[in-house]
Structure 1
Amino acid sequence: MSKSRRLRQHIGQMEEIRGILNSMKNLAFTETHKLLRFQAAQNKAVESLEKAAGDFLAFYPYSLDTDAQAPPIAILFGAERGFCGDFNDSLINEIATKAYYPDVIIIGSRLAGRWPDAYPEPVATLEGANVAEEAPAIVSRLLDVIAALQEQRGFFELTAVYHDDTLSGLTHDSLLPPFQQTVQDRPAFTFPPVLNLDPADFFADMAGHYLFAVLHNLCYTSLLAENHRRLRHLEGAVQHLDNETVKLRRKSQIYRQEEITEEIEVILLNAENL
């Protein structure tokens, strides 16, 4: 087989790969815009709960009923799919530098697969979401894990570690105890809110609704950052393939010209012999 023909076959294979990567890029682009809508709606839900918690805590301050040091647990929001650069590796490196997370809950099969044996064994591992519609099922399983850990261990501090494109680096958000960053010393109203429940029961229910809402928000935020990285990664891969294809086409043309020249020389030699 001639060099030019081999190059043309190679170019055809590269064009097929380029088409697949370009389709994946378009899917990531579509998913990004869908996640932006999901995240915006979930942000409003979380903000409403935080505002209600601020009004409540201004008149009913919350304090822990335990003097013991609460053990910390971190939820790591990793990537379920590939083509997103060092998304998972950066989470692993972050935990390596944060020795105060002795226990972790891993979300994402790829992150779990890359988890070093030297690190503490995760207390739970869950599959991550591929698309936004899978986030509610992930949150439901995650809440079951948290409830089971609370029954086994009692109270513990829960922190989420995740990627957020609006912030630089990885983000650490405290989830339990809830509303730690809510301002409690500046009530927005003169009179306390009218409750139909005991304040402790109301706070427990509100904390449950808040955890449900904020975990959805974190899933969407992490998945959005993952798709942003995937989009950039695939754009770079497609551009690289386009550049390489142009070079190979030029090379193929050179080889083809050389082959044509050789064929003409052979024809002329045969003509002279005749």
Structure 2
Amino acid sequence: MSRRRELSRRLGALAEISGIMSAMRGLALMETHVLQEFLPTQRRMVSRIEAAAADFLAWHPELLSAAKPNSEICILVGSEQGFCGDFNEALLRYREAHCRDKVVPGHFLTLGHRLASRLDGDTSLALLQLPGASVADEVPTVLLRLTRELNRLLATGEMAGCGLSVLYHCDATGDIRLRHLLPLRDLPAPVARPYPPEINLPAEDLLTALTGHYLYAALNEVLYSSLMAESRQRHAHMDRALKKLDEESEQLQQAYNAQRQEDITEEIEVILLSAGMLEDEC
């Protein structure tokens, strides 16, 4: 009887775990639906800013910096929550393979507590560690905090004039992407036009303003894209875990049924044995 109680207790615990994991899977699925409304609009905005910058710089090539920056800040966008498989580990493997031996010295800034927890003791990533977004509604707050810190780092001191790149899970391509943001580069080919674009600001001021708008829009897209990839991975991870949990629950249920049948058989044998003893006494 004690084994059957233990099996029943384990079945109850698995049922509770299954309920929690089902809720997490549902939340991840809901988050992907929410993000699907943001991402297309954000991508169109970034592509249009890039097209405008390409057209503008085609007529003002003197504003393009020919020299590469002396150093670069790379933002690593990880996860704020867990239960998303090797989301953070894959990011760190990519960094190890592609970012360690760059000629330009790199300074790393991380987003997401789960990613930061993987970096304990790694002094090369001690520049700054910021919390990330758990849901889409938190992205504006995270972006505001991130841009404030970037402005502080890039404005003065030894970081002034650094390049800026971001390493993240890109939902559009389904893989990890290293994306260069500053200075403006990797722009699309400009459209051939017979006349220069009409501008209402000095070219240098316009480039500064355009760069600021581009950086804000691109980082916004990056954060939404990474969160979408994280939500998809969490949903898939929870789905696989629930299937394994169902298999284990089924095995335990079979063991419970077998034990119950064995206990019933033992009780019947005891009753029959007791009845036989009573007959002998009579």
TM-score normalised by structure 2 residue count: 0.91
Instruction: Check if 1:129 corresponds to 2:133.
Output: yes
Instruction: Check if 1:64 corresponds to 2:65.
Output: yes
Residue identity matched to 1:85: G
TM-score normalised by structure 1 residue count: 0.94
- Quote the offset at 1:69 in angstroms: 4.5
Identity of aligned residues (%): 37
Match in the other structure for 1:159? 165
Residue identity matched to 1:71: S
Asked if the contact 1:106–1:125 (Cα under 8 Å) also holds between the matched residues in 2, the reply is yes
Asked if the contact 2:50–2:188 (Cα under 8 Å) also holds between the matched residues in 1, the reply is no
Correspondence 1:126-205 to 2 at 5 A: 126-151=130-155, 152=157, 153-167=159-173, 169-178=175-184, 180-183=185-188, 186-205=190-209
- Aligned residue for 1:79, secondary structure, equals coil
Distance 1:133 1:265, change over 3 A: same
Match in the other structure for 1:46? 46
Match in the other structure for 2:33? 33
Give the total of aligned pairs. Answer: 271
- Quote the offset at 1:70 in angstroms: 2.1
- Aligned residue for 1:73, secondary structure, equals strand
- Quote the offset at 1:224 in angstroms: 0.6
Match of 1:262 among 258, 261, 266: 266
Residue identity matched to 2:169: H
- Aligned residue for 2:177, secondary structure, equals strand
Asked if the contact 2:74–2:167 (Cα under 8 Å) also holds between the matched residues in 1, the reply is yes
Instruction: Check if 1:271 corresponds to 2:265.
Output: no
- Quote the offset at 1:163 in angstroms: 0.7
Match in the other structure for 1:251? 255
CA distance in 2, matches of 1:223, 1:168: 12
CA distance in 1, matches of 2:74, 2:191: 32
Asked if the contact 1:59–1:187 (Cα under 8 Å) also holds between the matched residues in 2, the reply is no
Residue identity matched to 1:273: M
Asked if the contact 1:83–1:233 (Cα under 8 Å) also holds between the matched residues in 2, the reply is yes
Asked if the contact 1:54–1:182 (Cα under 8 Å) also holds between the matched residues in 2, the reply is yes
Instruction: Check if 1:24 corresponds to 2:34.
Output: no
Match in the other structure for 1:221? 225
CA-based RMSD: 1.6
Residue identity matched to 1:173: R
- Quote the offset at 1:93 in angstroms: 2.0
- Aligned residue for 1:120, secondary structure, equals helix
Residue identity matched to 1:42: Q
CA distance in 1, matches of 2:265, 2:229: 54
CA distance in 2, matches of 1:165, 1:59: 34
Which runs of 5 or more residues in structure 1 are unaligned? none
Match in the other structure for 1:76? 76
CA distance in 2, matches of 1:9, 1:197: 73
Asked if the contact 1:22–1:234 (Cα under 8 Å) also holds between the matched residues in 2, the reply is yes
Correspondence 1:6-21 to 2 at 5 A: 6-21=6-21
CA distance in 1, matches of 2:59, 2:175: 36
Distance 1:239 1:133, change over 3 A: same
- Aligned residue for 1:216, secondary structure, equals helix
